[in-house]
Each structure stands twice: as C-alpha cells, then as structure tokens.
Amino acid sequence: MTIGVISAMDSEHRQLAERLQEKKVTGDGNFRYAEGMLGGNRLVLTQCGIGKVSAAVGAAELIRRFAPDCVVSTGVAGGIDACLKVTDVVVSESLAYHDVWCGEGNEYGQVQGFPAVYKGCVPLLEHALSLNNTGLESRIHGGLVCTGDRFITDRTELDVIKHRFPAGLAVDMESAAIAQTCYLYGIPFLSFRIVSDTPGVEDHSSQYADFWGTMAERSFLTTWTFLSTLPDKL
C-alpha cells in the first residue's frame, strides 16, 4: 500500500527520508516529497511545516497528488499526563483541538459542523500498540492527542488543557488538523508522536532542548520500526 508520512520539522523528516530504499525526490515549490520503499510498502514523505494551516495544506496536497491508502503524522509532542516519560510514544486513539471555541451548541474544541473528536485508524493503532511486545525501549500509549497553534511551555496552560480534556495524553501543533483533512477525504489516519517533554518539570523548554540534543535520533528508531513493520494492506 501507499503510506503518506507527514512531518512538521526538517529534523523529523530528514531522519526518515535518509532510510528509504529506492528513494527519489519529487515535487515543486513548497511541496517536496521523498518517495521510496520500506518493508513492501511505498512511502511518500513530506515536511509540511509547523502549525495547523501548514499541516492541513500539506495533508491535502499529499492526498491530491498521491492518493495514499493511509496517512501517518510523525514527530514529537509534549506530554500532559503523568504516565508518560520522555521518549515514550503517544498514538492517536482520538484527536481534538484544544484552542477552538465555536460558541454554544458546540463542545469545546469542536469546529462547528465537524466531529468534536476525530478517531485514529484502528488497524494502524493496533499495530502500533502491538510493538510493546517486541522489546522496544520506548513505551507506546494509545490515547487522546490535543492540537493547537501554540508551543506550550507554561505549566498553567498545560494544566488548563488537561482539565478541559482529562483523557488527553499529549499536545502538538499539527495532528488534529491532519485528522480533519483526512476525515474530509475519507483517508485513514494515525498520529505517532514521540514525547519530548513531560508534566512535572519546571523548565519545559530545557527538557525539550535536551531531548533534541541527546535522545532524538535513538527515539526516532521507534517510528522507523513502526513504519517498516506495517502490513501491505489495512
């Protein structure tokens, strides 16, 4: 099958693209793609840029050009639950916006006319969770991913999100926007996010920087393991 893989940042995209087999680079302008084979599947990787608009446009253009059988969002996220530690992985059982309010008659986080919560693709989710039985160093957790256009380092803001979304495990700036786009196109979707910082520390910015300095390359092997072991159909 053809799997579209969307990353926000160059560091995330590059580590995956370097490992593709039979790789070729296509596209033009702001839309560039690394195509290649992995484990019997065709992967199309793209770097969308940071934030909800960039993520939605990047997902739509990927779907329009390549008609993937599914889409996976990879990268990092901030943890908002005490069960998580740095380098753990959160995969999206569900996804919601933490910065949307459309008024009475809508749930907090719901774009009017759309679901309040988007569901992750069950076969992709189950495959990800099955990797917990293979001896991986990182623990993979299924749960709610909350998305908004803010890089959040303030503990109070994180607490507010957790209060509004008690089931929330992680926050990022892209996943729910890609989920909404895939919902519109009818494409199965999963967010696969490595935890770069966690609740319970005073300086989230330093913890995030430490992750990129010492742990990022090792932890992205978990993402690679997930992608390389996917079946050839859902």
Rounded CA separation 52/201 (Å):
27
Residue 61 annotated in active site? no
3-state class percentages of the chain: helix first, strand second, coil last, to nearest 5:
35, 30, 35
Q: What digits encode the pLDDT tens for the residues 60-92?
A: 999 999 999 999 999 889 999 989 988 899 999
Question: DSSP 3-state assignment of 107?
Answer: coil
The CB density around residue 126, as the number of other CB atoms within 10 Å, is 11
Q: What dihedral angle (degrees, nearest 10) is formed by the CA atoms of 21, 24, 28, 32?
A: 10
The gap from C-alpha 4 to its chain's centroid, in whole angstroms, comes to 12
Look at residue 42 and tell me whether its pLDDT is greater than 90.
yes
Residue 197 annotated in active site? yes
Tell if the pTM clears 0.85, that is, is over it. Answer: yes
Q: Active-site residue among 81, 88, 93, 197?
A: 197
User: Lowest mean pLDDT: which of 44-53, 65-74, 146-155?
Assistant: 146-155
Which domains occur in the chain, in start order? 2-223 (3.40.50.1580)
Reported residue count of the chain is 234
Mean pLDDT of the chain: 91
Look at residue 210 and tell me whether its pLDDT is greater than 90.
no
Q: Are strands 189-197 and 70-79 parallel, antiparallel or unpaired?
A: parallel
Predicted pLDDT of residue 220 = 79
Look at residue 152 and tell me whether its pLDDT is greater than 70.
yes
